[in-house]
Amino acid sequence: MKRIIAMVLTCTLMLTACSATSDINVIDVTQTAEAEQADIEIEGSETQCVEYTVSENDELHISIKGLDDENMLQYIEDNMYTELVGALDSEEYFVENVEAVYYPKEYIEALASNSQANRYFGYTVAELDAQFQGTKYIFTLGEYGQTCAVPMETLTEDVYIKTLEDVIVGTGVILICVTVSVVSAPAAPAVSMIFAASATTGTRVALESGAMSFAAAAIAKGYETENFEQAMKAGAEAAGEGFKWGAITGAIMGGGSEAISLKGATANGLTMNKAARIQRETKWPLDIIKSIHSYDEYNIYKTAGLKPTRFSPSKWAFTREIDWSLVDSQGRTNVQRVSKWGLAPIDKDGMSYELHHVGQKADSPLAILSKNEHRSKDNYSILHYTEEGKNVTDDVWRKQKKEFWNDLLKKAKEQGKA
């Protein structure tokens, strides 16, 4: 195992609440760390620190070209989401969003001279600071290699840019927005974290995505317990020689609408409790979970044994194993039905599979269902709960189905299944 020595990591964290009256005190530190305009220093007399141990990892099963590689951003989003759900392992938390973007080094360097307010995932620093209640906290790597928590009264543009500049090692910085709702807490507050990571290679950043997930889980739980010691220790475990880890924390004022860009897409009818239960049970992608309308609908897909499959970065579907060698009553294999005739494949009973829009939204993921799964009396009323989504014209729907089956056949051929 090779020691990872190149990566520098920082993280921005804020607490969003659905009620303007929410006031959560996370740790008992009241002194401020002043940031001088000429020379920003992130430290203070009430700094809390913990020692860290070096982590090691050198295994990655994808090829990454650089920090701006879209495959790496997708890998980080997927890996952090799955690992975070597993680390939380509770129906008391719902991971609402994991989103990664790349900022080139030149862009970061230009931020300081930019006269306009810079935006991070849709927010200016001033907008974030205006919503925070009470003292904010920065988690960073101390001078002697320990993870520290520093209190601040005001989050300024200079401080934020300083944290970004401090992490630059390679060609730029990866920003990762993670939002976790605390289901059981009053008004369902949401802990949002904006991680910033950089390294000499994209592989190093990707390797640490799992460790960052554990740090994020500890932070989310820290709001529940009002104790950030474990969050600091988890951040230390995500670090190593040459690493930095940090966070800005605070209680945001206003409702959930103020933080909608941090939460990602809204749910399609599931309660927060049901969504959290499904997430814990399945670790299904957010696009899938947030498209489901009810827990009964979820059980239909689960009972059918459907599995989420990605066709593109933004396109998911519920798929199942298809026997492409099956022959219909006219002597056509499933491969021929799809590729030559534009038809759906058949199941072992000779019935054509059917497609259904999950949650009955025209742009939501598709699910492959048998005729009985789709049209039985009980299932039909659950799956077709509204007229919405039925306004797709027949021509458009036929084209969409044909394209889907061809994409599925192509994927099966790539996997040697057809």
CA dihedral sign, ordered 33, 126, 118, 101: positive
Paired residues of 93 in beta bridges? 182
CA dihedral sign, ordered 248, 249, 250, 251: positive
pLDDT at 211: 75
Q: Which of 407, 200, 215, 201 is nearest to 317 (CA)?
A: 407
Which pair of structure tokens corresponds to residue 58? 């050198």
6 and 206 Cβ atoms separated by less than 8 Å: no
Please tell me the pTM assigned to this model.
Answer: 0.78
Residue 86 clears pLDDT 60, i.e. is over it:
yes
Rounded CA-CA distance 15/13 in Å is 7
Q: Of the given ranges (155-164, 178-187, 270-279), which has the lowest mean pLDDT? A: 155-164
- pLDDT greater at residue 337 or residue 269: 337
Q: How confident is the model at residue 172 (pLDDT cuts 50, 70, 90)?
A: confident
Question: What is the mean pLDDT of the segment spanning 193-212?
Answer: 73
Q: Tokens 């970065």 appear where? A: 313
pLDDT at 224: 66
- pLDDT greater at residue 266 or residue 8: 266
The 3-state DSSP class for residue 118 equals: coil
pLDDT at 288: 93
Residue 264 clears pLDDT 50, i.e. is over it:
yes
Measuring CA to CA, how many Å separate 123 from each of 45, 117, 129, 130, 325? 30, 9, 10, 11, 53
The 3-state DSSP class for residue 111 equals: helix
Instruction: Give the CA angle between residues 262, 248, 45 to the nearest 5°.
Output: 170
Q: Tokens 């295994």 appear where? A: 59
pLDDT at 114: 72
Q: Tokens 């959290």 appear where? A: 276
Chain mean pLDDT for the chain? 74
pLDDT tens column, 381-402: 999 987 655 667 888 899 999 9
Q: How confident is the model at residue 22 (pLDDT cuts 50, 70, 90)?
A: very low
pLDDT at 138: 65
Contacts (Cβ under 8 Å, ≥6 apart) of 207: 4, 57, 58, 59, 60
Q: How confident is the model at residue 149 (pLDDT cuts 50, 70, 90)?
A: low
Question: What is the mean pLDDT of the segment spanning 162-184?
Answer: 76
Residue 202 clears pLDDT 80, i.e. is over it:
no
CA dihedral sign, ordered 110, 116, 122, 124: positive
pLDDT at 32: 28
Rounded CA-CA distance 95/101 in Å is 18
Q: How many CB atoms lie within 10 A of CB 416?
A: 6
pLDDT at 182: 80
pLDDT at 187: 57
Rounded CA-CA distance 401/103 in Å is 38
CA dihedral sign, ordered 199, 201, 203, 206: positive
Phi, psi of 32 (to 5 degrees): -110, 155
pLDDT at 18: 29
Instruction: Give the CA angle between residues 180, 184, 186 to the nearest 5°.
Output: 95
Question: What is the mean pLDDT of the segment spanning 199-210?
Answer: 72
Q: Tokens 């009430």 appear where? A: 46
Query: What burial class does residue 377 get, using C-beta atoms within 10 Å of its C-beta: 0-12 exposed, 13-18 middle, 19+ buried?
Result: exposed
Question: What is the mean pLDDT of the segment spanning 223-249?
Answer: 59
pLDDT at 233: 65
